[in-house]
Amino acid sequence: MRCYIKQGLLEGRLQPECADPLTILNFAGLYPTNPRETVYVLLNKEFVQMAPSVKAQSVPAPQGLLKPSQREETVLLPDLFVSFHAEEPRFHPGYQQVKQESEAWFANVCHYDEKSYKKLVKADFPSFIAMWVHDVKLDDFRTICDWSSWVFDFDDMFDEGTLNKNPEQARIQITNHKNVMNQDDPTRMMIPEDPLLKVFASVWHRVAKRSSEVIRKRFIESNIDYMEGVLRQVEVVASAGRPDEEEYIAMRRRSIGVTPCLAFIDYCYDLDLPDEVVHHPSIQELQKVAKELVVIQNDAVSFLKELADGIDQNLVAFYGRCGMPPQEAYDRIGTLYKARCRQWYLAWADVPQWGETMDKQVQKYIHSMQDLVTANLNWSFRSTRYFGEKTGQVRMTRAITVSSEQLLKNGLTPPGKKSAAKP
Per-residue pLDDT, 410: 85
What is the pLDDT, as a whole number, of residue 61?
Answer: 33
Q: Which of 194, 96, 81, 213 is nearest to 145 (CA)?
A: 96
Q: Which has the minimum average pLDDT: 15-29, 232-246, 388-402?
A: 15-29
Partners of 43 in beta bridges: 46
pTM above 0.85, yes or no: no
Count CB neighbours of 261 within 10 A. 27
Domains of the chain with bracketed CATH = 1-68 (no CATH), 86-409 (1.10.600.10)
Q: pLDDT at residue 307 above 70?
A: yes
- What pLDDT score was predicted for residue 24? 36
The whole-angstrom separation of Cα 132 and Cα 269 is: 12
pLDDT of residue 414: 84
Q: How many CB atoms lie within 10 A of CB 310?
A: 11
**pLDDT band at residue 46 using 50, 70 and 90 as cut-offs:** very low
Contact between 150 and 202 (Cβ < 8 Å): no
Instruction: Give the pLDDT of residue 8.
Output: 35
389 secondary structure, DSSP code: G
Select the more confidently predicted residue: 180 or 241: 180
SS3 track for 121-157? HHHCHHHHHHHHCCCCCHHHHHHHHHHHHHHHHHHHH
Q: How far apart are CA 28 and CA 33, in angstroms?
A: 12
Residue count of the chain, please give it. 423
Share of the chain above pLDDT 70, in %: 80
For the segment 112-153, what is each residue's pLDDT rounded down to a tens digit?
999 999 999 999 999 999 999 999 999 999 999 999 999 999
Which residue blocks in 16-137 are alpha helix, DSSP H?
95-109, 114-123, 125-132
Cβ-Cβ contacts under 8 Å for 410 (sequence gap 6 or more): 307, 310, 312, 317, 320
**For residue 343, pLDDT beyond 90:** yes
Residue 271's Cβ-side half-sphere holds a number of Cα atoms within 13 Å equal to 25
The per-residue pLDDT for range 323-333, each reduced to its tens digit, is 999 999 999 99
pLDDT score of 279: 97
pLDDT of residue 188: 65
Q: Which is nearest to 395 in space by CA: 383, 410, 411, 412?
A: 383
Which pLDDT belongs to residue 75?
Answer: 95
pLDDT recorded at residue 23: 33
The end-to-end CA distance of the chain, in Å, is 37
Q: Average pLDDT, whole number, for the chain?
A: 83
Structural Rg of the chain based on CA atoms: 23
Return the pLDDT at 419: 57
Q: State the maximum Cα–Cα separation within the chain, in Å, rounded to a whole number.
A: 74
175 Cβ neighbours under 8 A, 6+ residues apart: none
Residue 97 in this model has a pLDDT that exceeds 70: yes
Helix, strand and coil percent figures for the chain, each rounded to 5: 55, 10, 35
Question: What is the per-residue pLDDT for 416?
Answer: 65
Q: What integer pLDDT is reported at residue 237 of this predicted model?
A: 80
pLDDT at 421: 52
